Structure 1
Amino acid sequence: MDENINIGIIGMGKMGILHTGILNSLDGANVKAVAEKQNLVLKPIKQLLPAISTYSDYLDMIQNEDLDLIYITTPTSFHTNIALDCVDSGIPFFVEKPLGISVDNCKPLIEGIKQKPTINMIGYSMHFVDTFRKAKDVLDSGVLGDLIYFNSSMYVSQLFSKGKGWRYKKETSGGGVLSTLGAHLVDLLIWFFGDVSLVEGHTNSYYSKDVEDFVHSYILFKDGLGGYLDVSWSVRNYRLPEIKIEVHGEKGMLVVSDDYLKVYSDQGAKWNMYYKQDLYDGVDFDLGGPEYTREDKHMIKSVKEGIDSGLDVFDAFKVQKVVDAIYKSASIKSAIEEDEL
Structure 2
Amino acid sequence: MDVGVIGLGKMGLLHAAIFNRLDGCRVTALCDVNELMLKILRSGNDDVRTYTDFQIMLDENDLDIVVVATPVFLHGSMATTALKKGMHVLIEKPMAKTTEECSTIIGNANGSKSLVGYCRRFMPTYNSAKKLIEEEELGKVLSFRSHFYLSQVDKRMEGWQFDPYKGGGGALIDLGCHALDMVHYILGPMRSVSCRTERVISESVEDVARLELTLNSGVRGNLAVSWVESGYRLPEMMLEVTCEKGVARVAEKYLETVSNDGTVNKRFKQCFPDPIPFNIGGREYTAEDLHLVESIRDAQNTKCDIKVGSMPTSVIDSAYLSARDGQPQKVRYL
TM-score range, shorter chain: over 0.9
- Over residues 142-186 of structure 1, what are the superposed CA-to-partner deviations in whole Å (9 max), with x where a residue is unaligned? 112221111111111110111221111111111111111221000
- CA contact under 8 A between 1:119 and 1:303: conserved in structure 2? yes
Q: Which amino acid aligns with 1:237?
A: G
- Over residues 25-56 of structure 1, what are the superposed CA-to-partner deviations in whole Å (9 max), with x where a residue is unaligned? 22221111111122132121122533211011
Secondary structure of residue in 2 paired with 1:217 = strand
Query: Percent of pairs identical after alignment?
Result: 32
Q: Which runs of 5+ in 2 are unaligned?
A: none
Paired position in structure 2 for 1:136: 130
Q: Which amino acid aligns with 2:226?
A: S
- CA contact under 8 A between 1:282 and 1:290: conserved in structure 2? no
Secondary structure of residue in 1 paired with 2:222 = strand
* Pair 1:160–1:48, CA change in 2 (3 A): farther
Residue in structure 2 matching 1:181, options 175, 178, 184? 175
Paired position in structure 1 for 2:6: 10
- Cα distance, 1:338 vs structure 2: 4.4
Paired position in structure 2 for 1:325: 318
Q: Quote the RMSD (CA, aligned, Å).
A: 1.5
Paired position in structure 2 for 1:196: 190
- CA contact under 8 A between 2:315 and 2:332: conserved in structure 1? no
CA distance in structure 2 between the aligned counterparts of 1:75 and 1:333, rounded to whole angstroms: 29
Q: Which amino acid aligns with 1:34?
A: L
CA distance in structure 1 between the aligned counterparts of 2:332 and 2:292, rounded to whole angstroms: 33
Paired position in structure 2 for 1:251: 245
- CA contact under 8 A between 2:311 and 2:333: conserved in structure 1? no
Residue in structure 2 matching 1:93, options 62, 66, 89? 89
CA distance in structure 1 between the aligned counterparts of 2:198 and 2:36, rounded to whole angstroms: 36
- Cα distance, 1:306 vs structure 2: 2.3
Q: Which amino acid aligns with 1:125?
A: C
Paired position in structure 2 for 1:156: 150
CA distance in structure 1 between the aligned counterparts of 2:48 and 2:185, rounded to whole angstroms: 37
Matches within 5 A, 1:1-341: 5-113=1-109, 116-266=110-260, 269-338=262-331
Secondary structure of residue in 1 paired with 2:108 = helix
CA distance in structure 1 between the aligned counterparts of 2:273 and 2:199, rounded to whole angstroms: 38
Q: How many equivalent residue pairs?
A: 334
* Pair 1:160–1:86, CA change in 2 (3 A): same
* Pair 1:339–1:22, CA change in 2 (3 A): closer
CA distance in structure 2 between the aligned counterparts of 1:152 and 1:195, rounded to whole angstroms: 15
**Greater Cα shift, 226-235 or 101-110:** 101-110
* Pair 1:157–1:339, CA change in 2 (3 A): closer
- Cα distance, 1:335 vs structure 2: 0.5
TM-score of the two chains, using structure 1 as the length reference: 0.94
* Pair 1:303–1:197, CA change in 2 (3 A): same
CA distance in structure 2 between the aligned counterparts of 1:102 and 1:338, rounded to whole angstroms: 13
Q: Which amino acid aligns with 1:305?
A: D
Q: Which runs of 5+ in 1 are unaligned?
A: none
Q: Which amino acid aligns with 2:328?
A: A
- CA contact under 8 A between 2:314 and 2:332: conserved in structure 1? no
CA distance in structure 1 between the aligned counterparts of 2:75 and 2:188, rounded to whole angstroms: 25
CA distance in structure 2 between the aligned counterparts of 1:339 and 1:141, rounded to whole angstroms: 28
- Cα distance, 1:301 vs structure 2: 0.9
- CA contact under 8 A between 2:314 and 2:333: conserved in structure 1? no
- CA contact under 8 A between 1:99 and 1:317: conserved in structure 2? yes
- CA contact under 8 A between 1:69 and 1:303: conserved in structure 2? no
- Cα distance, 1:340 vs structure 2: 9.0
* Pair 1:210–1:307, CA change in 2 (3 A): same
CA distance in structure 2 between the aligned counterparts of 1:179 and 1:48, rounded to whole angstroms: 39
CA distance in structure 2 between the aligned counterparts of 1:6 and 1:231, rounded to whole angstroms: 38
TM-score of the two chains, using structure 2 as the length reference: 0.96
CA distance in structure 1 between the aligned counterparts of 2:26 and 2:191, rounded to whole angstroms: 43
